[in-house]
Amino acid sequence: MAEPKTKYDRQLRIWGEQGQAALEKASICLLNCGPTGSETLKNLVLGGIGSITVVDGSKVENGDLGNNFMVSESSLGQPKAKCVCAFLQELNDAVKAKFIEEHPVTLIETNPSFFSQFTVVIATQLVEDSMVKLDRICRDANVMVIFARSYGLTGFVRISVKEHAVIESKPDHFLDDLRLNNPWPELKKFTESVNLDIPDPVVHKHTPYILILVKMASEWAKTHGGKLPSTREEKKEFKELIKGKIIKDEDEDNYKEAIEASFKVFAPQGISSNLKRILDDTCSEVDSCSSDFWVMVAALKEFIANEGGGEAPLEGSIPDMTSTTELYINLQKLYQAKAEADFLIVEQHVRDILKKIGRDPFSISKPVIKSFCKNSRKLTVCRYKPIDEEFNSPILPEMQKYLADEEYSLAVGFYILLRAVDRYSANYNTFPGQFDGGMDEDVSRLKTTAVSLLSDLGCNGSTLTEDLINEMCRYGAAELHAVAAYVGGVASQEVIKLITRQFVPMTGTFIFNGIDHKSQLLYL
């Protein structure tokens, strides 16, 4: 029975078999299995993650029964890691689940090499000091980390990894690569064989818009000194010319599509600024230590500068459009052939570069290079600052901008206070408002802590509202289930993106705002 395929059908439609295989190979370490950690892991276990290791040193108490679904009455007094692990295993027996009854803080202090065995470490509910230490350990070991914290009605998610390159970024809306503004010789030639003024009305209304636009653009260029429409008037005129081709009283969808797609003719030639930034990155000067990704970028750079004539390799697919079957299929083949030719050239560059830097020329496989070519316009590189750098020297102008911006006021306030409560707990061995009574004192202590933190960050004179400081004390470090499920949900979604290497993970620090849902990403 092809059960896994059916079971994972709804997600295979998103990340495909390759993405699934990456998930099934990944090993995850979870630090602290309160609701935030448990919920993060639950979403990954359901999706068929390879293996999980749950690290938590606490025993299940009554309070845990009120916020964590993975423990129940019968777990009282037992190791939390064991109970959570058992429940997760029940969700999916394909996952290898184990637990370690140990406080994460101890593990970070005493056994740093422990973490190097994992693909991703999910660190939940850690205080600042442990975050910084863990981050250093994992950066050195090249292990991805995601930090997640739920705290009252707020919380955060932050990825930490030196660099994460995405080939299959699969953006929602992306301009297709039709080269209507810069057709290659074969496409030009194919277009020349087509007569737009053909009298047969059936053929006329089934001429695909690609051909209409390439043909009309070339006619325009002939009478405009080789230039395509660029001013508003010219664009309008061009569209009118297309409209003029429609046979009177006929409903010709292909010409309507041509008018709608005419902006593709007006688009500038060459590569996007995003891609240019990647090509110009110092990492594209490759040596024997370079990653496969940067080797391929170097090859891409050579292609664009030489054979590509300033354009990236052709993607090779075309969208559906009104057409006869035959013309459409022929066009499809034409695009595919050009994409294949471009790929072969890039492949050769890759092999040459590998040889030059002293690596096996065939150490990067054909399918990988092919996928790289097909997605070359959508390449994305995400970089994340070390945690202690952000904590000790955040980008001051950004911080000041957030502090002054109404839209960010709650989010940046929470950011400061989430850090202030950790300082507070380092000083007083408890979080503000963790226990009933003495609330006024906690509020004033937290305020003092926040003010001194702000001044340490260089934001002298900035203050947070009394209401927000009060609110933070009200939370008393509560880990509410709904907030934990939200924060854990976000963390698990990002982990999936990191592991599948598909889609673009978030950058910056995500601050959850459970008051009015004006959550924000802060880039500090």
Partner 1 sequence: MQRKIQAPDYHPLPSGPLPSVPVTVGCRSLVSSNCNTQCNSDRELLMADATAPQSSRSRDLDKLLLRPGHLVGPTFEPGTELRDDLQEYARILVVGAGGLGCELLKDLALSGFRNLEVIDMDRIEVSNLNRQFLFRLEDVGKPKAEVAAKRVMERVTGVNIVPHFCRIEEKELEFYTEFSIIVLGLDSIEARSYINEVVCGFLEFDNNDKAVEESMKPMVDGGTEGFKGHARVILPGITPCFECTIWLFPPQVKFPLCTLAETPRTAPHCIEYAHLMKWGEVHPGKTFDPDDPEHMQWVYLEAVKRAEAFGIPGVTYTLTQGVVKNIIPAIASTNAIISAACALETLKIASGCSKTLSNYLTYNGVEGLHTKATEFVKDNDCPVCGPGIFMELDTCLTLKMLMEQLEDHPKVLMSRVSVKYQSKTLYMQSPPELEALTQSNLSVPLFNLMDKSPKGIVHVTGLAGKGDTRQSCSKKLRVVFKGVGVGITDTDMAGGA
Shortest Å distance, C-beta 92 to partner 1: 8
Which 25-44 positions form the footprint of partner 1 (CB under 8 A)?
Answer: 35, 39, 42-44
Q: Which of 375, 488, 498, 522 binds partner 1 (CB under 8 A)?
A: 488
Sheet holding 520-522, edge to edge: 96-101, 51-56, 27-31, 120-124, 144-151, 154-160, 509-513, 520-522
Which 267-326 positions form the footprint of partner 1 (CB under 8 A)?
Answer: 320-325
Which 101-140 positions form the footprint of partner 1 (CB under 8 A)?
Answer: 103
Q: 490: Cβ–Cβ under 8 A, 6 or more apart, which residues?
A: 148, 157, 510, 512
When the beta carbons of 309 and 438 are compared against partner 1, the nearer one is: 438
Which 168-197 positions form the footprint of partner 1 (CB under 8 A)?
Answer: 169-172
Report d(CA 337, CA 435) in Å as an integer: 70
Does residue 149 bind partner 1 (CB under 8 A)? no
Which residues, listed in sequence order, are joined to residue 53 by a DSSP beta bridge? Answer: 29, 98
When the beta carbons of 270 and 489 are compared against partner 1, the nearer one is: 489
Contact between 206 and 343 under an 8 Å Cβ cutoff? The reply is no
Count of CB atoms situated within 10 Å of the CB of 264:
19
Which 415-474 positions form the footprint of partner 1 (CB under 8 A)?
Answer: 425, 428-431, 433-439, 466-468, 470-471, 474
Shortest Å distance, C-beta 6 to partner 1: 5
Q: Which of 313, 316, 394, 476 binds partner 1 (CB under 8 A)?
A: 476
Shortest Å distance, C-beta 220 to partner 1: 27
Window of 241-249, 339-347, 365-373, 476-484 that interacts with partner 1 by CB under 8 A: 476-484
Does residue 402 bind partner 1 (CB under 8 A)? no
Does residue 232 bind partner 1 (CB under 8 A)? no
Does residue 494 bind partner 1 (CB under 8 A)? yes
Does residue 486 bind partner 1 (CB under 8 A)? yes
Does residue 235 bind partner 1 (CB under 8 A)? no
Could you give the string, one character per residue 362-401, with x where binding to partner 1 holds by CB under 8 A and - elsewhere? ----------------------------------------
Q: Which of 255, 316, 514, 522 binds partner 1 (CB under 8 A)?
A: 514
By DSSP bridging, strand 96-101 and strand 27-31 are: unpaired
When the beta carbons of 346 and 524 are compared against partner 1, the nearer one is: 524
Q: What is the dihedral of CA 248, 254, 257, 261, to 10 degrees?
A: -110
Which residues, listed in sequence order, are joined to residue 156 by a DSSP beta bridge? Answer: 149, 511
Does residue 256 bind partner 1 (CB under 8 A)? no
Report d(CA 520, CA 505) in Å as an integer: 15
Contact between 175 and 141 under an 8 Å Cβ cutoff? The reply is no
Going by C-alpha positions, the residue among 74, 42, 35 that lies closest to residue 56 is 35
When the beta carbons of 360 and 516 are compared against partner 1, the nearer one is: 516
Q: Write the secondary structure of 155-219 as one string of H (helix), E (strand) and C (coil).
A: EEEEEECCEEEECECCCCCCCCCCCCCCCCHHHHHHHHCCCCCCCCHHHHCCCCHHHHHHHHHHH
Structure tokens at 237: 């005129």
Does residue 77 bind partner 1 (CB under 8 A)? yes
Does residue 207 bind partner 1 (CB under 8 A)? no
Q: What is the dihedral of CA 282, 287, 288, 289, to 10 degrees?
A: -20
Shortest Å distance, C-beta 81 to partner 1: 14
Does residue 201 bind partner 1 (CB under 8 A)? no
Shortest Å distance, C-beta 268 to partner 1: 22
Q: Crossing angle of helices 292-305/366-374, nearest 10°?
A: 60
When the beta carbons of 58 and 348 are compared against partner 1, the nearer one is: 58
Shortest Å distance, C-beta 517 to partner 1: 4
Does residue 89 bind partner 1 (CB under 8 A)? no
Structure tokens at 107: 């593990």
Structure tokens at 304: 């664009």
Q: Which of 21, 86, 91, 345 binds partner 1 (CB under 8 A)?
A: 91
Does residue 260 bind partner 1 (CB under 8 A)? no
Window of 211-219, 343-351, 367-375, 494-502 that interacts with partner 1 by CB under 8 A: 494-502
Contact between 158 and 146 under an 8 Å Cβ cutoff? The reply is yes
Q: Which of 279, 283, 368, 515 binds partner 1 (CB under 8 A)?
A: 515
Diameter of the chain measured on Cα atoms: 89
Q: Which of 137, 146, 153, 459 binds partner 1 (CB under 8 A)?
A: 153
When the beta carbons of 229 and 508 are compared against partner 1, the nearer one is: 508
Instruction: Find the length of the chain.
Output: 524
